Amino acid sequence: MSLPISRYPTPTLDGLPEDIRAKILEVQEKAGFVPNVFFGFAHRADEFRAFFAYHDALLLRESGLTKGEKEMIIVATSGANGCLYCVVAHGAILRVYEKAPMLADQLATNYRKADITPRQKAMLDFAMKVCLHSDELGDADYAALREHGFSDEDAWDIAGITALFGLSNRMANMMSLRPNDEFYLLGRLPRAPKG
């Protein structure tokens, strides 16, 4: 596909700082291709490093949320923000993690109609409020989370992931970041590709 991946020039691997090139080669080794977000953000090395450090801090840490639940938050809030890149890319990751080929389309369109547990529904209610009306957050929202067994650290995780991808959604919308073609099909077939 020769369509540009962004409004901004795409850097070449060779022209990138060593640590960024290494990170990109590592993800390529693991995923089989380089998600465009890596090249999109690599337009500015320091922001690239900060974004992925934040990403890893939130997504790789031990948490009361599973890896799949974290991706649910990303997909549902990115849908609300109209961010094509994140819906498609994280939709793929979610399908692979949860071995649930239909879940991402459900969450991106209307999380109230998705095949999720009431606990996950409460998690997404909180995430959507952080996403759309964070100024209105109050004690009742934390109480609703606690009723489903979420701790204060879990609340922070939900808000943090929503907030970080709110940033990512805005950057992707600004640069018109194009999802890799590979993502659209990933995790949709009965035997999901290795994630």
Which residues bind to its own copies, rule: CB under 8 A? 3, 7-8, 43-44, 46-47, 49-51, 53-54, 56-58, 61, 79, 81-84, 87-88, 91, 101-102, 105-106, 108-110, 112-115, 130-131, 134-138, 142, 152, 155-156, 159-160, 162-164, 166-171, 173-176, 178-179, 181, 184-185, 188-189
For residues 36 and 85, give the distance between their C-alpha atoms in angstroms, rounded to a whole number. Answer: 9
**Which of 21, 43 has the CB closer to its own copies?**
43
Instruction: Identify the CA nearest to 40 among candidates 161, 131, 183, 173.
Output: 173
Measured from the CB atom, the residue of 27 and 164 that comes closer to its own copies is: 164
Q: 10 Å Cβ neighbour count for 100?
A: 19
Nearer to its own copies, 13 or 189 (CB): 189
CB of 101 to its own copies, least distance (A): 6
In angstroms, what is the minimal distance from the CB of 111 to its own copies?
Answer: 9
Least CB distance from residue 119 to its own copies, whole Å?
A: 16
Residues in the chain: 195
Which of 33, 37, 32, 29 is CA-nearest to residue 10? 37
Q: How far is the CB of 7 from its own copies (least distance, A)?
A: 7
CB of 76 to its own copies, least distance (A): 11
Helix (H) or strand (E) holding 42: none
Give the phi and the psi of residue 81 in degrees, each rounded to 5: -90, 0
Nearer to its own copies, 27 or 137 (CB): 137
Give the separation between CA 190 and CA 85, rounded to whole angstroms. Answer: 24
Instruction: Pick between residue 25 and residue 167 the one whose CB is nearest to its own copies.
Output: 167
Cα–Cα distance for residue pair 187/96, rounded to 1 Å: 5
